[in-house]
Amino acid sequence: MTSVPTLGYWNIRGRAQPIRYLLTYAGVEFNDKRYVLKDWQSDKHNLGFDFPNLPYYMDGDIKLTQSLAIMKYLARKHGLVARDDPTLARQELIEQFVYDIQHGFLPIIMSDDYAAKRDQYSTGTLTPQLHLLAEFLGDKEWLTGQLSYVDFIVYEVLDWLRLFTPDTFRQFPTLDQYLDRFEALPEINDYMNGYFKIRALAQPIRLLLKYTGTPFTDKYYELGDDLLTLRDSWLKEKFTLGLDFPNVPYYIDANVKLTQSVAILRYLGRKHGLVARDETGLVRQDLVEQQFMDYRTGFMQMLFNREGFETNKKKFIAETLPQWLDQLSKFLGSNQWFSGQTLTYADFLGYEILDWFRLLSAETVKKYQNLVQYLDRFENLPQIKAYMKSPEFLTAYKVRALGQPSRLLLKYTGTPFTDKYYEFGSTPETRYAHWYNEKFTLGLDFPNVPYYIDANVKLTQSIAILRYLGRKHAAYKVRALGQPSRLLLKYTGTPFTDKYYEFGSTPETRYAHWYNEKFTLGLDFPNVPYYIDANVKLTQSIAILRYLGRKHGLVARDETGLVRQDLVEQQLFDYRTGFFEILVNKEGFEENKKKFIAETLPQWLDQLSKFLSSHQWLTGKTLTYVDFLGYEVLDWFRLFSPETVKKYHNLVQYLDRF
């Protein structure tokens, strides 16, 4: 007897709506399960998901979260995917670009001064984005030439924009015609004339399931009248569903239990033939990759939040980081790498974030011997070892007191500087004599060490110095979004030009070097990082990483691996986003950092550790591109709270292996 797939999400359209569309289009019968919070809390940890969340998709042994992972899985299953590398590149590029648009306008919708921010956003940000999208579409019927899963996602986003700012949207008639074509698809037209609910993260999954005709339970968790009601309802089920990384959306199908909307989409796409090709078993890789992204996002948000940093750091190290490292340690288990005995790209991401955690709280990370050993293994990979010894590599871990991160940044960016040290005196009375002789003569507002002087810029406070240098050199000449791709290129021995764009010294000239080239490179969506290799011209860090993974064989080779690969990619992306939000949030940084280390980081590391378990790499035994992303996230976490990371031995070992 054939089981009926279940799509679980809140009783709204949201992220599940594109999945509903896709399933409907494909004629797949499915259970469209809609949750209220209390029901989701009851189910969340009982459904067997690695990363419990909504939306989820369950179909037999397939259990997925992450809306995009679900969409990709269904796309592969139903033939709604690109079939060659050039089209694959376009597919992944537009997928990431439209998510950038979505993430830009959602905060505007939720803001108090909605009308004012909407008008400013529509003129300054949205109009140029829609112009690029219209040019990308051109005279094609669909974005990649033929109907694919990305059209289901793009339709949902554009439909929101049509409601959000109709005057702006009407300026682009080709996009309006594109929406008309999608709505005129017979299966979609019938669905829209019938029962239609709200969107959010599970929506692309619902669309894909609908398109493929997959029957599923579309479970919704009611929001309730307030956030407390939603929280209580979700928490009731959160740890009862058997998910490795409990969250919504989640997807359960027999023994397959997945969170992360993107991972769910990819799994469903592969299952239903909506894929470019079949790749090897990296379910673990996909899952842990996305988990790393979640950890990194939360970590970064705390790291660069000015207000309350010390308080947040202490709380993060005490509460969050141990949870995260415990997850990672359990997931890694006795494996060499997160996915088993073979290095994958997820280990690169895992190493990076664990290295950051190690720097932040070495004592915490040391408690997890398998994570410590993992870090050692990773750093002793011949290609990585050579790279880390080269001047190209920014070592975030080996520090010398509070000034070391700034030294490393200056060294990495090639900035000449005088590294001045003050000797200690031989007696208590003369201990600080050398420093005191200069302390009040340097024109510092708050005389202290370390200090940094560059012409009229005179700073103390190590974090303030690091932030200033970070702003000055930004993502252009620091690790940032391009680092996993750098690691992958180094690992594969691929010669490449690592081009950096310097910042100007004033607000008016800040991006001048980049702007001089931005629109001359032939990029569809000009941005940094970018990657150019003959006729291949890509932006979007994840799209670049996937392209390189395919090119160099660092991808999953079977459906199981593809599912894990997609899942963990999106989970890591979530972590990275949340972490960066903490880093760049000026208000309450110290407090948020402590809270992050105490509460969020341990949860993330615990999830990753459990997901990695005894595997070598995030998808199992083979290194894939997601390990490079996972390493980067873990290395940031290690820098942020090394003590927390050390609690997760399999994660430490994973970093070592990478």
pLDDT digits (tens, 9 = 90+) for 53-63: 999 999 998 99
Specify the higher pLDDT residue, 163 or 654: 654
- Quick check: 156 pLDDT over 50? yes
56 and 159 in a common domain: yes
At which of 439, 473, 507 does a domain end? 473
419 and 307 in a common domain: no
Nearest CA to 524 out of 178, 89, 72, 18 is that of 89
248 and 309 in a common domain: no
Distance CA 122, CA 7 (A): 33
pLDDT at 386: 55
Least confident interval from 29-33, 92-96, 120-124, 157-161? 92-96
Domain, as residue range, for 433: 401-473
pLDDT at 557: 84
For tokens 């990275």, the residue is: 576
Q: Order of strands across the sheet with 62-65?
A: 31-35, 6-10, 56-59, 62-65
pLDDT at 197: 34
Q: Is 516 inside a domain boundary?
A: no
pLDDT at 285: 43
End-to-end CA distance of the chain: 44
Q: Is 128 inside a domain boundary?
A: yes
Q: Is 238 inside a domain boundary?
A: yes
- Residue 275's contacts (CB-CB under 8 Å, 6 or more residues apart) are 72, 75, 76, 77, 81, 269, 562
Distance CA 578, CA 603 (A): 13
Number of domains in the chain: 3
E strands, 467-622, where? 530-533, 536-539
pLDDT at 399: 28
Mean pLDDT over each residue of the chain, to the nearest integer? 77
Specify the higher pLDDT residue, 321 or 299: 321
pLDDT tens sequence across 81-129: 888 777 877 787 788 788 888 888 777 776 677 678 888 888 889 999 9
273 and 290 in a common domain: no
pLDDT at 418: 82
pLDDT tens sequence across 504-553: 666 677 678 888 998 899 887 788 889 999 888 888 888 889 989 999 99
Distance CA 514, CA 168 (A): 28
Q: Is 515 inside a domain boundary?
A: no
With cut-offs at 50, 70 and 90, classify the pLDDT of residue 286: very low
- Quick check: 296 pLDDT over 80? no
The average pLDDT across 413-427 equals 67
64 and 138 in a common domain: yes
554 and 615 in a common domain: yes
408 and 372 in a common domain: no
98 and 75 in a common domain: yes
pLDDT at 211: 52
- Quick check: 316 pLDDT over 50? yes
Q: Write out the DSSP string of 458-490.
A: EEESHHHHHHHHHHHHTTTSSSGGGHHHHHHHH
pLDDT tens sequence across 547-591: 899 999 999 888 788 878 888 888 888 888 888 878 766 577 788
Query: Can you tell me whether residue 523 is helix, strand or coil?
Result: coil
At which of 226, 261, 277 does a domain end? 277
pLDDT at 387: 45
- Quick check: 407 pLDDT over 70? no
Q: Is the dihedral of CA 600, 601, 603, 604 positive or negative?
A: positive
pLDDT at 120: 87
- Quick check: 341 pLDDT over 60? yes
- Quick check: 391 pLDDT over 50? no
161 and 74 in a common domain: yes
pLDDT at 505: 62
pLDDT at 586: 59
Least confident interval from 211-220, 225-234, 414-423, 591-600? 225-234
Q: Is 646 inside a domain boundary?
A: yes
The CATH number that applies at residue 463 is: 1.20.1050.130
Q: Is 361 inside a domain boundary?
A: yes
- Quick check: 502 pLDDT over 50? yes
At which of 277, 295, 318 does a domain end? 277
DSSP state of 338: T
Distance CA 220, CA 35 (A): 2
pLDDT tens sequence across 172-199: 999 999 999 998 988 887 776 532 333 3
221 and 111 in a common domain: yes
292 and 226 in a common domain: no
Q: Read off the tokens for 625.
A: 């591109």
Q: Is 518 inside a domain boundary?
A: no
The average pLDDT across 310-329 equals 87
pLDDT tens sequence across 350-376: 776 787 788 788 899 999 999 999 888
Q: Is 54 inside a domain boundary?
A: yes
Sequence-ordered alpha helix ranges (H) in 122-246: 127-137, 149-164, 166-169, 173-184, 186-192, 203-211, 227-238
434 and 352 in a common domain: no
